Structure 1
Amino acid sequence: MAAESLFGVHGAALEVRGQRMGVLASNIANASTPGFKAKDIDFKSALASMEQDGNGSLDAATKYRVPLQTSMDGNTVELNEEQTAFAENAVQYQTTLSFLNGRIGQITRALKGE
């Protein structure tokens, strides 16, 4: 049985959420870097891309953010927005991970005959 059928879309979702966490963390880390352009990953299009290609490339789903208020130094990071997006993504990542851990536990118990 293939991993896709065992875990459904959740394996790809975990990978997308993990990569998005890295992008958001980079935005937060560069909040004071002049000229830094904040990016984000569109989860829905990234997940669709992962399901079609399976290659893990999320370039097409990665977009530059358009700030509500532009900075004098050209930096487009809005720290409050980034921190909120990071926290929401972290909760979603943990939820997906918990689901997968539960599924792995079910499979393990089935293999042991419990």
Structure 2
Amino acid sequence: MIDKLDAALRFSREALNLRAQRQEVLAANIAHADTPNYKARDFDFASRLTQAVAQGRGGASMSMATTSARHLQGEASAMPDADLLYRMPAQSSIDGNTVEMDAERIAFADNALRYEANLTVMSAKIKSLLAAAQQ
């Protein structure tokens, strides 16, 4: 039963995890807007989501040690910096910084909106599963 629930929610879970990771990357870009020679980073969300769903989890993971065979396996996904891509600026700056605040703010707001939409979809899916279980 748990496997079926996991399969039903896997796509939404992976999408939410990747949206949260992308929000961290975009926030780091905004935070370093005035840092000389800082290179803006991002990743291709669609390809990362396809890869994460195909693997069944969010890329590389770290697992917790267990002391009993009956313990649940806890995992945390880790996004290596090697997967991050550099963003090409439309206009270069004198100090070598490639962060463009307008583009970063737009990407940040778009990602936040899509995160909220994913939460709404996942919430509706959970409600429908609960309704089906109660009948």
Q: What's the TM-score once normalised by structure 1's chain length?
A: 0.87
Q: Secondary structure at the match of 2:110?
A: helix
Alignment-derived partner of residue 112 in structure 2: 90
Once the two structures are superposed, residues 41-83 of structure 1 have per-residue CA deviations (whole angstroms, 9 ceiling, x without a partner) of 1011111221233243444642110111111111110000000
Point out 4+ residue stretches in structure 1 off by more than 6 angstroms. Answer: none
Q: Greater CA radius of gyration, 1 or 2?
A: 2
1:47 aligns with 2:49: yes
Query: Which structure dedicates a bigger proportion of its chain to helix?
Result: 1
Q: Is 2:113 the partner of 1:103?
A: no
Using structure 2 for the length normalisation, give the TM-score: 0.75
**Correspondence 1:31-70 to 2 at 5 A:** 31-53=33-55, 54-57=57-60, 58-59=79-80, 61-70=83-92
Gaps of 5+ in 2: 61-78
Query: Which whole-Å deviations, capped at 9, do the CAs of 1:1-40 have from their partners, x for residues lacking one?
Result: 4244212522211111111011001101110111111011
Number of residue pairs matched by the alignment: 113
Q: Alignment identity in percent?
A: 40
Q: In the alignment, is residue 76 of structure 1 matched against residue 98 of structure 2?
A: yes
Deviates more, 1:52-61 or 1:22-31: 52-61
